[in-house]
Each structure stands twice: as structure tokens, then as C-alpha cells.
Amino acid sequence: MSKIVDTISIIGVGLIGGSIGMTAKARGLARCVIGIGSSRRKLHRAKELAAVDIYTTDLLAGVAEADLVFICTPTLAVLPTIRVIAPALKEGAIVTDVGGTKSEIAKAADAALPEGRSFVGGHPMIGLEGGDVEAALPYLFLKSTYIITPTGSTDVRALDTLVNFAEAIGSQAALMSPEEHDRSAAVVSHLPHILSASMLRLAEEEQVFRLAEESFRCMAKGAVSPPETWVDICLSNKEAITAAMKQLENILAEVRKAVEEGNTKEIDQLFSEACELASEWTRKPAGNE
């Protein structure tokens, strides 16, 4: 593949950042990939794993020559990081993130950057959050959906660059507004994690883990991710998450009523519709609606 930018800087070389670096290097999408973090030991390991070419613990020095900066920090750290690096960014630099929520970041990111520097929000939808560079993979993004969230003030050149990068790492780029992203993610990502954690609490209270079958184990996997990730997401997307919760509560109330009343028709309809939807959805290739 052809080079998309000369230099990429990655702030936070964990699972996502490390996989971005590995893929960019393996596919020749940049001449140089710079890793930035607070632990020299972890950064050295990232270099050993071919996730970065060089590394530094100096945040400002690390982004000074970057054409494209990926901020792969926890969600609530994205804006503070943008504000810190802003003075060091060169003319034409593009900043993006991989955070699980977008609205709050999008509202403030442009204002935090000097003229001539651009922000474009992004979120690779790979179903994984957190983890260190040891788990990074150069094919992590293949056939996934990479959400990109431009606003009315997004620079077209910067948007095109990120779209090209997302597609070059094997993803299907999908454009949507930050608000649409957050509403959608609340339903297909954020609320399922909350439900997983809640069901685990219920199972612990009832002491029924010994009876758990594979369906429960699959659901429980959603809770196996860094707690701080989900604290950030809940705090930065509370409106969309609470709206989704209310919708689900309404559905559960209808189901509860059907069960209480022994309404065979309503119960059958619930599971029949769910079976049909699940069968249709799981037959579709990843990354497609």
C-alpha cells in the first residue's frame, strides 16, 4: 500500500494504539511511527513488537513532527491531552482519537487547536476496550467498522486523510455526526456492558454461577474490560445511555407483564422476533448494516 502520511504519533500505545502502529508499519502507511507514553519499559516493548519505530515520554516532543496524531487515552483524558499538545503541533497536523464517546470531545476539540491544525473524531468499532500492547495485532481492524465523526467545521483534507487511513488498515469507514454516534453506541456497546455488569452482580447475589451456561458466559465477557474505561464512557455519554436505559425499561416492563399474565402470544412474539433479527444480523458480514 502507499504511504498516507509521513509521520504518525500515537499517544497511548496499548491494544488500540499498538494495533494502529503495527498495521501502519506493516502496510507502509507512514514513514515513521512514534510512540508516546509514560512508561519507557512499555514503550520499549512496543518497539520490540514492531508497533512503533521510535518512542518518547516527552509528550510535546513526540507530536512536534507528526502529520497525524492518534490519542488513544481513556475518553475523559482526550480533551486535556489535546489542550496540552496544541502548542507543539506543526502547521497542517491532524489530531484524532479512538474514544468510545464523541459529542463532548467534538464540541471542544476544534476550539482547543490553533489555526491550521485539525481535529477529526474517530472510533474503531472492534468490540475491545483497554489492554496493553502485548494484545495488539496488525490485523485487528480487518472487516471492522471505523466510525468517523466530522462536524460542520471539520477540514475536508483532514477528513479525507482519516477516511483513507481507516480503509487502508482494513476497516470500513462510516461517517456520522458525534451525536448520532453516541446514541448508536449507547445501544450496541455501552448499555450491553452495563447489562453485563448488572447481571454479574445479580448472579453473585443469588449465588448461581455454578449453573451458568455458555449464553451467560458470553454475556459476562462484556464486563471483562478496564473499569475506568466504562466510568469515562458513562460520564461522557450519560444522556444517550440513560435514554437507551429508559427504552429498555419500557420493553422489560412489557415482557414482565406478559410473563406475569402468562401471555403466551406476547412471549412467543418476543422470542420469535428476536430469533429472526439475530439470525438476519449474524448472517451479514462484519461492518455492514
CA distance 285 to 138: 20
**Grid coordinates belonging to 229:** 474505561
CA distance 149 to 162: 10
Cβ–Cβ < 8 Å for 158, 195: no
Residue 213 is predicted with a pLDDT of 87
Which pTM value belongs to this model? 0.90
CA distance 101 to 98: 9
Cβ–Cβ < 8 Å for 30, 56: no
Q: Which residue has the cell 461522557?
A: 236
Residue 214 is predicted with a pLDDT of 87
Positions in the chain short of pLDDT 50: none
CA distance 6 to 10: 13
The 3-state DSSP class for residue 185 equals helix
Residue 172 is predicted with a pLDDT of 96
Q: Are strands 145-149 and 172-175 parallel, antiparallel or unpaired?
A: parallel
